[in-house]
Structure 1
Amino acid sequence: MKIGIMGCGVISNQYIKDIQRLYKNLEIYMVADIRKEIAEQTARENQIPFWGMPEQMLDSSDVELVVNLTPPTLHTEMNRKILLAGKHVYCEKPFAISLEEALEIQNLAKQQGLAIGCAPDTFLGSSISTCKKLIEDGWIGSPLYVCANMLNSGVETWHPRPEPFYEKGGGPLYDMGPYYFSALVTLFGPVKSVFASARKGFLERTIYTEERFGHKIAVNTPTHFAVIVEMEKGILANMNFSFDIFKSTMPLFEIYGTDGTMEVPNPNMAGGTPKIYRREQMLAECFGGADQREGKFSSLPELYQNIGVYVRGAGVQDMVCKLHRNEKEDAQLAVHVIDIITSILKSAETDMPQNLVTSCKERG
């Protein structure tokens, strides 16, 4: 399938490199950007035959699927234009800024008879797939609770243009929440309700990248969220998302079951080795000698092919494979994730728990 890359920002290099390396049935036929010279540079550096402005990509009869890598606030507008141009679309996260926008695009895709999907696709990788298999096989018994924490000091140390991360549609919830929520729903099914509090730790941030070193930017969105999530299956998750933490020893993602604990690899990555701590180890530590009181996790091998720890593009490949089987991806998971995010925001604003209005099918 001939695909186009819409938006030649920082993440486009990763998509292009990984798609060209891994998926030989996908041809990156064209790249587009509002800065035509950047599109041309990206095309020449990656041996892509065509480049141009976004409108030129939409007018191309050869491009069948567009990977939308434009800024988050433009996702809905561009997704709408891509679908109306008769092309399938795979969108970088977040799928939309509001649930209303997400549902609009989902319904438009159905009306047009087109497929639509959204990042992240890391839950398709070897690490989360292995964790799902281990849970289903009973390695930690029945899951009871989850503790997950995305805690860092923000993006201004590495991103040359971090302003959108501190505006509406930015912050740690929209930026990193999709990785954690997609993994959570993949492992345990839909979310039932959320309860949250939010804070803004700093009124302004300092950019540390070379080009704009020392430049100050305003913060116009919450940058720290404390969240309690109740799954439809009854599992409780305690989750924290923050751009205000310089160092933390909290677990990235742990699952606590009736027979043990699972340490899940970073949901931002496609690969990684899960770890298990079984109840029998606790009993041995209680009644055994000093050499048995170490409390160590046991690493388990990944049960699926690891194509790399930090990779992008599996979601595009997944969509195309479904299209070849006459199936259409409808972004059900992505819409549910936006429902989770916007419900958390509303809970933080109202100091009241929020029930979700969407659900989604569990993936096999």
Structure 2
Amino acid sequence: MEKVGIGIIGCGNISGAYLKAMAGFDILDIRGVADMNQAVADAKAAEFNVPSTTIDALMDDPKVEIILNLTIPRAHVEVGLRALAAGKHTYSEKPLGINFAEGKKLADAAEKAGLRIGAAPDTFLGGGHQTARQVVDSGELGLAVGGTANFMRPGHESWHPNPDFYYDIGGGPMLDMGPYYITDLVNLFGPVSKVAGFATMLRKERMITSEPRRGDMISVKVPTHIAGVLSFENGAVVQVTMSFDVAGHKHLPIEIYGTEGTMLVPDPNFFAGPVEVLKKGGEFADHPVTEPYADGNYRSLGLADMAYGIRNNRPHRASGSLALHVLEVMEAFGVAAETGRTVDITTATERPEPLSASLFNGRLGR
């Protein structure tokens, strides 16, 4: 099968994980990496033995079919629109945009151009989460009751070399980590219908404790603790907490509750992890994880699935409609907090199809 040319824009912290994982997918042809800082692009290119180029060159290269957009969140839509205008499909890091209006603009532009958009996270395609999806689909848990989803940490200034954007417009725990959790919940339960929520910002400044900027102060412009409830179209109700203000906690990342059982789902920031199921009247027991992509960091699996989708004329799973729906849901927490009302979700999306095992090791998937 003819490879799909990929042009990568943005050579920051996450790009290494993508470049490492992309080497395992035969369908992907890396045409070059580019960054606003040429020295950064050159260094990343040398590290992974791929061409270093410029943004303009990638946009003009007729062999580039997909622009992989790994820029900071505030640039996702700007770069995506430019890619679409150049006749390229685009796949971006999460979130799709820093607000719903931006994301809708990108989705509308893609539809008008007859091009595809996709977005991270693709961790819901990992073996642990696909196994959890199988458990839900089997009916083993009974009727869907609800669940909990929790990410609560002190903040990224303790480890990230340049954490400023996590506290700028487009950042915060909901837009940063929420995509992993909410996307996985949509994978398990289907689309969200309503959102209720509260949000707080306890500190207007935070000190960086990581190197090389230890001691620098950064401004906080977004809520850093968000709590609320998702009501799903299938009737499930899930409590959600996303925080950069909590020293630590004992809640599991995701728990799913049914009338006949409970399931513990792996951390949605990772592809792998154990799945545990409790049957009514019994105790928790490990559920075998037999799906592929459960043994490493496959951060580019959604991109590869998109490339196969293009070649086989079928939908890709980490789709623009999924990312836009998740973006609207995340923004709804803030709207609910500001207005004191429950917010109806307007976007429609389908549960992504389960990942075919035939995509294992970069082979053709349905």
Q: TM-score, normalised by structure 1?
A: 0.93
State whether structure 2 residue 248 is matched by structure 1 residue 261: no
Determine if contact 1:131/1:264 at 8 Å carries over to the other structure. yes
1:341 Cα deviation after fit: 1.0
Determine if contact 2:128/2:294 at 8 Å carries over to the other structure. no
Counterpart position of 1:7: 10
Counterpart position of 1:353: 342
Query: Helix, strand or coil for the counterpart of 1:318?
Result: helix
Give 2:289's match in structure 1, choosing from 289, 302, 309.
302
Counterpart position of 1:85: 86
Query: Helix, strand or coil for the counterpart of 2:169?
Result: coil
CA distance in 2, matches of 1:195, 1:343: 8
Counterpart position of 1:124: 125
1:328 Cα deviation after fit: 5.1
State whether structure 2 residue 225 is matched by structure 1 residue 238: no
Counterpart position of 2:43: 41
Determine if contact 2:145/2:257 at 8 Å carries over to the other structure. yes
Give aligned pairs, total.
348
1:307 Cα deviation after fit: 4.6
Determine if contact 2:5/2:31 at 8 Å carries over to the other structure. yes
Worse-superposed segment, 58-67 or 173-182: 58-67
Query: Helix, strand or coil for the counterpart of 1:149?
Result: strand
Question: What are the Cα deviations for residues 257-306 of structure 1, in whole angstroms up to 9, with x where unaligned?
Answer: 1111100010111111200111131xxxxxxxxxxxxxx52011113113
Counterpart position of 1:291: none
Query: Helix, strand or coil for the counterpart of 1:212?
Result: coil
CA distance in 2, matches of 1:250, 1:338: 24
* 1:32-181 aligned within 5 A: 32-48=34-50, 50-181=51-182
Identity %, equivalent residues: 36
CA distance in 1, matches of 2:210, 2:66: 34
What runs of 5+ residues in structure 1 fail to find an aligned partner?
A: 282-295
1:40 Cα deviation after fit: 1.2
Determine if contact 2:21/2:297 at 8 Å carries over to the other structure. no
Counterpart position of 2:360: none
Determine if contact 2:144/2:234 at 8 Å carries over to the other structure. no
Determine if contact 1:114/1:328 at 8 Å carries over to the other structure. no
- Tell me which amino acid in the other structure corresponds to 2:43: Q
Query: Helix, strand or coil for the counterpart of 1:327?
Result: coil
CA distance in 1, matches of 2:211, 2:42: 24
What runs of 5+ residues in structure 2 fail to find an aligned partner?
A: 354-366
Counterpart position of 1:289: none
* 1:182-331 aligned within 5 A: 182-281=183-282, 296-327=283-314, 329=316, 331=320
Worse-superposed segment, 153-162 or 51-60: 51-60
Compared CA separation, residues 212 and 320, structure 1 to 2 (3 A) = same
Determine if contact 2:70/2:93 at 8 Å carries over to the other structure. yes
CA distance in 2, matches of 1:317, 1:195: 35
Counterpart position of 2:364: none
Question: What are the Cα deviations for residues 187-214 of structure 1, in whole angstroms up to 9, with x where unaligned?
Answer: 1111000000001122221112221111
Counterpart position of 2:27: 25
State whether structure 2 residue 324 is matched by structure 1 residue 335: yes
CA distance in 2, matches of 1:10, 1:363: 28
- Tell me which amino acid in the other structure corresponds to 2:308: C
CA distance in 2, matches of 1:341, 1:172: 10
1:310 Cα deviation after fit: 3.1
Determine if contact 1:35/1:53 at 8 Å carries over to the other structure. no
Worse-superposed segment, 152-161 or 301-310: 301-310
- Tell me which amino acid in the other structure corresponds to 1:302: V
CA distance in 1, matches of 2:288, 2:48: 34
Query: Helix, strand or coil for the counterpart of 1:211?
Result: coil
Determine if contact 2:144/2:235 at 8 Å carries over to the other structure. no
CA distance in 2, matches of 1:25, 1:238: 39
Query: Helix, strand or coil for the counterpart of 2:121?
Result: coil
CA distance in 1, matches of 2:205, 2:295: 36
Query: Helix, strand or coil for the counterpart of 2:77?
Result: helix
CA distance in 2, matches of 1:114, 1:317: 16
Query: Helix, strand or coil for the counterpart of 2:157?
Result: coil
Determine if contact 2:207/2:218 at 8 Å carries over to the other structure. yes
- Tell me which amino acid in the other structure corresponds to 1:325: N
> Which 4+ runs in 1 deviate beyond 6 A?
none
1:246 Cα deviation after fit: 1.1
* Aligned-pair Cα RMSD in Å: 1.2
